[in-house]
Structures are given as structure tokens and as C-alpha cells.
Structure 1
Amino acid sequence: MSSESSPSRDKSYTQDWLENILQCYYASQHPDACQDELQVIDWEIKPVEGEGYLSEMLALDVQYNVDKKEERVKLVAKLLPPDPYNRAFVIQTQFDLREIRFYTEVAPAFHDVTHRLLDKDFQPLPIPKHYHALYKEDAESILVMEDLRNKGYSHQNLNKGLTIRQAEVAVDCLAHIHSASIMYQRETKEELCKKFPYLLRREKAEEAFHALFEKGLLLLLKYLDKNQEYLTIKKCLQEYSGNRSKDIFERVLSPSDKMNTLVHCDFWSNNLMFKNEGNDTKCCVIDWQMIMQGKPTVDLGMLITTSLNPQIRRDHEDSIVNAYWNSLLKRLRKLGMKDKDITYTYDDLKLDLKDGKIFGALVMIGSVDIALGDPEREDRVMSLIRDLIADGSL
């Protein structure tokens, strides 16, 4: 290993930086141990491929001495993006603060409530373990987590989309998170947005998603111009520019009068990692930068519209929705909630999901730049739009 790939040209600074991180990591792994001085021996730091513009992700491979033993650990560190414009954007929108607070405040609060209610049957949320977090307003943020790749987790190929099994496991994870947030509100008698004021505000979310959609729509309309076959689709989509799409985002992102959950707000395949263990498939949810309070179908609708290939979506959407609903009810009942207290019904879910799928489609259009130029991804976008037009959703 070499120190030359470190985030700082000053070797001593990087060593101090790593030792500070590893002190936190070691303390979390050995809370009852009397920790001796920890010393980093060697390290390698590499950028994690495929990450977006909202952060810089580094893979840390570190050898260190502690308690007269040599050990090695692989972690990931999430930092502010190096590009000045992207860095300013993340700081202004508080994406980094929100994710750090999720790992250090929201998730532990959910864990405390569900652990008390379930005792021995308690299961941790399906998220990476975090070991260190630092936030300095307008200056610096660091989030250090386990490297899931080192445990056999990986992303599903974007072009292939999720398998049926992966989709079922993903919605079970979603039900796990949603049920924990419902019970937290029930036990504390406090809404999430009041308890955690840094959650993404609805007005800000509407504004951000609307701007994203308008930008992507311009690209998509230019693409549709190239083929007369898409004339009807183009005419339909043009009607969504301006207030019509803005009204949809406002309606979808407004809280429910029956049941609100913690919403990931970017719940699609790129933010899911899977691991196969024999006949079992495990899933872990990452990238918690856009969390807000809202309807559960915001997440469910986005997953269905953005992460399934057309055939699986058409043939198995109902079974995937049923898997989510059954898992949610099962988890709420296990947490002690009576059926009479669950005022949100399956019919409510299906009704809200219509809007959730439109939301997912508009977000997909907003991010259409990652699809254009790739025939498989283009087909997924066009198939979804055709299907939503055909069933009257668009």
C-alpha cells in the first residue's frame, strides 16, 4: 500500500486524519476496552468509482497497530465534493448535514424505540454501519462507514434493472424503515419534521424536483424530435412543462392526513446494494441526503418506475406492491400496533401510488441524461411513458 493516493499531499496530516477516524472506529467496535495508543502503519486511499457530483467517496484501506496487535480495516469516507460549484450547492441545500444527522440522530432514535418494543426480535435498520461523523457548518463534513463491498454487497446492473427477488427484498427494507418511523412517531407523539427540523422541507423538495424535471424535459423533447413515432408522446409531455408538473410535485410531496413516514426520496436501484447468501438475498439502503416526512408511496413509486425493466414492471408490479404492504402490516403488528389503529388502508396505498408513479416518472425524465445514448435505458424510459399514457396516468 502507498500513502501517495491520500487526500492530502502532507503525509503527516493524512496519517493524523486516519488515526482520528480509526480511534472512533476502534472505540465503536470495542466499547468496553481500555484503548491503547493507535498508530497507522500504512494505508491506501482510492476514489470510489461511479459516485455522483453530490459528494466525494473515498475507499480507505488501512493497516494499524493497537494494543500491540497489527490490524487492517476497509472503510469508506464520504466528503464534500471537490468541485467548488457542487460543494457550494451541497452546503446550501444541506445534503451533507441531512445525511450525517440521519446516521447520528434519526436512525439511532428509530433503533431505540424498535429495540425496546421488540427486545430479542429486534433487527437493525438495513443501512451501513457508521463509525465517525464530523460536520462544520459551511466548511467541512465527513461521514465514515463500513465498506459494504468488502462484505459482498454490490449494485445491480442499471441496464438490467432489479430482479423480482431483489425488488421484493428492497420493498421489505422499505417497509422496515417506514414501520420504524411510524412507531417512532406513535411512541413519542411527535411528527418527524418537528423532532428533526433539518429534514428536507416540502417546499424545497418541490422546487428542486421541479427544476430537475424542467431541465430533463428539454433534453427529452429534443430526443423525441428525431423520430415521428414519438409525436404523440412529445405533445403529451409538453403539457407538463410549467404549472402542471409543479402542481403534481406539490400534491405528491404534501403529507398524508392518514399516515406519514420517513421518506428516502431517492429510493432507486443506484441507492440499493445487494448480497446473495445461498438462497437468501440481503439489501442495504444508502445515500440518505434527501430524507423528509411524507407519504410512503413517494419511495415505492420511485422504485417501481425507475428500477425495473418494462417486462418485470408490467408483469409483477402488483405482487411487488403487495409484498410491501404485507411486510409493512406484519412489521407494525409485531411492533405492537393494533389493526384498528392502522387507519391507512390498502386502497389508500393504491390511490397514493398512482401519484407516486407519476412522481417517479417525472424524476426519471429529470434525470434522462443518464439514459439518452444507451438503447436499453432509452427503451425503459419510453416504455414507462407509453404505459402511463395508455393507462391514463399521464
Structure 2
Amino acid sequence: METPTFSHSDCQKIVSKKLNDDFAIVEVRNSTFDHKNGYLGDHSLLTVTIKRNQCNESHNFFVKTLPTVPSQRQFLLEINGFFKEQRFFTRYLDLLRKHSIKVLDGAIPRCFLVNDETFVFDDLVTKGYTTLPSRVPLDLESVKAALTTFAKLHASCIILEEKKQFRLVDEFEEEVAETFYSDKDLTHTQTMTIPKHMFMEKFLDGLDQQKLFAQPSTKFRNTICHGDPWTKNLMFKFDDRDVKCVMVDFQSYRYCPPGQDVMAFLHLTTDKKLRDEHLDQVLGFYHDELDQNFGKHGLKGLIPRDEFFDSCHYFKQFALLQTLTHFQIVIMSDEIATEVMSDPSVAQFVFFENKYDFVVSSWHRDPIFRKMNLEALDELRLFFENK
């Protein structure tokens, strides 16, 4: 991976936006990470040393660029992911600021520069945030911290709609248009973990229905949803008092009911034991957080509690299927991920073509991969049987 270069003018803009103070640039350094931080972007660290008030100080920034691996770059462009994220951190956030909606402050990273191929964000690691392993289920306190953040994202759009008396999809049609599921033949690349003698027919029908689930609802209130709420798109900060969560990566957001995000998040990041024991509790907690955000802007009852719970029940099938297809990739071991990512031709085949051989190999080599996928299969099978 080549590290992006930044001009003196770029660095001046970046630091000025962060500090809003007088300074002089002393040194600029770019460095790559020792490990891969994500599948649909290249990441590096920008360190700008400045002189302010007669003292030198260094500021770190997280840099995200379009992938250099051709297959990943092409996929991201096909789903319009880079464009969507650009518009989120420019047009959408600008509109929130214009209407004095500050609910997302602290819930997403600050973005200091956006151009044709690059984002420059605040480095959350230096603020004590960390990314948790996707192969370890979140505990209850981390779940609540994440749901607090989801409630802020979802509330931001609904508050904006109430203030502007419009629907986001009317003015942001291209930005919120569903691109991950629409016009895709999911049956070729996403079904290879399902033995033929099991519930293949229902599974294939369910995959076709994902396209419908991902469209704006005509029954439930819609809002901006993250769309890819797995563990690596959340960063947590733990201290003696509480847990805080920041949401990252806005390449897949869509316009749907908040219950879709909430149920997808719970199935992608928790185990069945937590959901069985605490589902109503955490759904109620999320709804209370959502209402509190509305209340700060003099709004109440925009999504009734019963309606929200009904939507969560409705989106359970979507969440179960998304979990199973995502788990073929997002819970692979570090060893296997390194093997895949080190060879662009292998990455192309695993991510975007036929996954069968890869999934079978991972199933036999990796007991955690096998256990988590098997549990997801069993839960989906029971869902279809009960349905």
C-alpha cells in the first residue's frame, strides 16, 4: 500500500480545522499500519508536528483512502460506498449543523479533510478508543454503549426531517439509495455454507427478500441507518465510570427503519445467550435513548415503543440472513485473513466470486469460525421452522 501524500496547504487546513488557532507546521510524517484495519479501504497515520505558543506538539490523524487492491476498489465504487461516505461527512453533517442539530457530536469521528480519494479523521486511538475483536461477542455494557450511539445516528435524521418538514430520501435520494443488496445476484456468492439437504429453498427465498428489507419501509418510520453494524465499525473507550462508543465507516448507509440497524447489530455482535436473556431489555434501552434525543429538541413520541418493537420483530429475518452471509468473511481468523489479503487474486476470489472452497477450508481449520457459523445456521433454521 502506498501512503497518501499531503501538501503543506492540506496539512494547514487539517490542523486549522482541528485547533482553530495560530500555529506553524514543523514536520509532516505518513506511516502505514502493521496490520490491515478493514476490507474496503487502505489506512495510514498522518502525524503533523506544529509549533504553537512557542512549543512543539504533535497531532495524529487517521487517514482512509480508496483501496489499492483492484477488486476491492472496484467493489467499493460499484456500491457507491466512497461517494456515500463523502456526502455523509460533507452534505449531511453540514445540514445538521445548519439546523443546530448536535446530537452526533462525540458519536462519530471528526473529519478534517475530504477529497476525491481520501478522508482525514481524528485519530481515536490517541483518545483511548479501541476496536474489539469480531470473534468475541460484546458484553451487555458494550451493547448499551453502542445502542446509545445508534440512537443518536437515527435520531439525527428524524430530528432533521421534523425541522425541515421533509423526508431525507427526497433530497438525498442518491446518497441513501441502497447499493449493497440492489441488483445483485446474492445466490451465487452467499449460499455456499448451506448444505443442500437443509433449508436451501427458504434460504434462497430469504436472500431475494433482503433486497426488499433494505428498501425504505411503507409501514415503519424510516431514518438514516448505518447499514453495516458489525464490530469493526465500532470503537469503544472503557474507563472506571462507563463505556463510550464511536461509530465509523459510512459506506453502506441507507434509509430504513431503525429496527433494521438495531437487529442487525445485535445479531452480528452478540451471542444467542445475551439475546435470549436481554433482548427486551436492550431494545427498551435503545428506545429510551432515542426518545431522550428527541426530547432535547422538544420532540416526543415520533416512534412509539410498540411500533419499534414490531419493526424489530419484522427485521429479525433480515438480521439472521445478513449475519450468516457476513460471518463467511468478518469472523475469519487473523492468520487466514493475512493469507487472503496478501494475495489480490485470492482476495478477489474470496470476497467477490465463489466462496465455497474458502468457507470449507476455514470451517475445517478454524474452530471459532466453525462454531459461530454453525450457531448462525441453527438459529436461522429454527427461525424458518417456527415461521
- In the superposition, the TM-score normalised over structure 1's length comes to 0.81
- Alpha-carbon RMSD across the aligned residues, in angstroms, is 2.6
Q: Which residue of 2 aligns with 1:91?
A: 77
* Partner Cα distance (1:169, 1:197) in 2: 30
Q: Which residue of 2 aligns with 1:138?
A: none
Deviation string 1:344-376 (CA, Å, 9 cap, x unpaired) is 332322222133222122222222333444323
Residue 40 of structure 1: how far off its partner (Å) = 4.5
Question: Does the C-alpha gap of structure 1 residues 91 and 108 become closer, same or farther in structure 2, counting only changes over 3 Å?
Answer: same
Residue 125 of structure 1: how far off its partner (Å) = 5.0
Amino acid in structure 1 at the alignment position of 2:181: E
Residue 213 of structure 1: how far off its partner (Å) = 5.9
Q: Which residue of 1 aligns with 2:3?
A: 7
In structure 1, which of residues 240, 243, 250 is the aligned counterpart of residue 203 of structure 2?
240
Amino acid in structure 2 at the alignment position of 1:86: Q
| Correspondences of 1:173-188 after superposition (within 5 Å) | 173-188=149-164
Matched residue SS, 2:174: coil
* Partner Cα distance (1:334, 1:39) in 2: 40
Q: Which residue of 2 aligns with 1:250?
A: 212
Question: Does the C-alpha gap of structure 1 residues 84 and 245 become closer, same or farther in structure 2, counting only changes over 3 Å?
Answer: closer
Deviation string 1:37-81 (CA, Å, 9 cap, x unpaired) is x44425241136333332111122333446764331111111111
Question: Does the C-alpha gap of structure 1 residues 245 and 167 become closer, same or farther in structure 2, counting only changes over 3 Å?
Answer: same
Residue 244 of structure 1: how far off its partner (Å) = 4.3
Q: Which residue of 2 aligns with 1:329?
A: 291
Q: Which residue of 1 aligns with 2:351?
A: none
Q: Please, which runs of 5 or more residues in structure 1 have no aligned partner?
A: 9-13, 136-140, 226-233
Residue 144 of structure 1: how far off its partner (Å) = 0.2
Deviation string 1:166-206 (CA, Å, 9 cap, x unpaired) is 0011111111111111010111112112222332423x343
- In the superposition, the TM-score normalised over structure 2's length comes to 0.82
Q: Which has the larger radius of gyration?
A: 1
Matched residue SS, 1:166: helix
Deviation string 1:209-268 (CA, Å, 9 cap, x unpaired) is x545641211x02xx47xxxxxxxx52144322x54212431453324441110110012
Q: Which residue of 1 aligns with 2:14?
A: 25
Deviation string 1:105-157 (CA, Å, 9 cap, x unpaired) is 21232244354xx8xxx66150001111112xxxxx11100111111111122
In structure 2, which of residues 292, 295, 308 is the aligned counterpart of residue 349 of structure 1?
308
Question: Does the C-alpha gap of structure 1 residues 151 and 378 become closer, same or farther in structure 2, counting only changes over 3 Å?
Answer: same
* Partner Cα distance (2:168, 2:307) in 1: 21
**Contact 2:137 2:270 survives alignment (8 Å):** yes
Deviation string 1:266-310 (CA, Å, 9 cap, x unpaired) is 012111100012121100000001112111112111111110022
Identity %: 19
The aligned length equals: 353
Residue 281 of structure 2 corresponds to residue 295 of structure 1: no
Amino acid in structure 1 at the alignment position of 2:72: N
Q: Which residue of 2 aligns with 1:308?
A: 270
Residue 105 of structure 2 corresponds to residue 124 of structure 1: yes
| Correspondences of 1:262-277 after superposition (within 5 Å) | 262-277=224-239
Moved more, 243-252 or 329-338: 243-252
Q: Which residue of 2 aligns with 1:338?
A: 300
Moved more, 364-373 or 329-338: 364-373
Residue 196 of structure 2 corresponds to residue 206 of structure 1: no
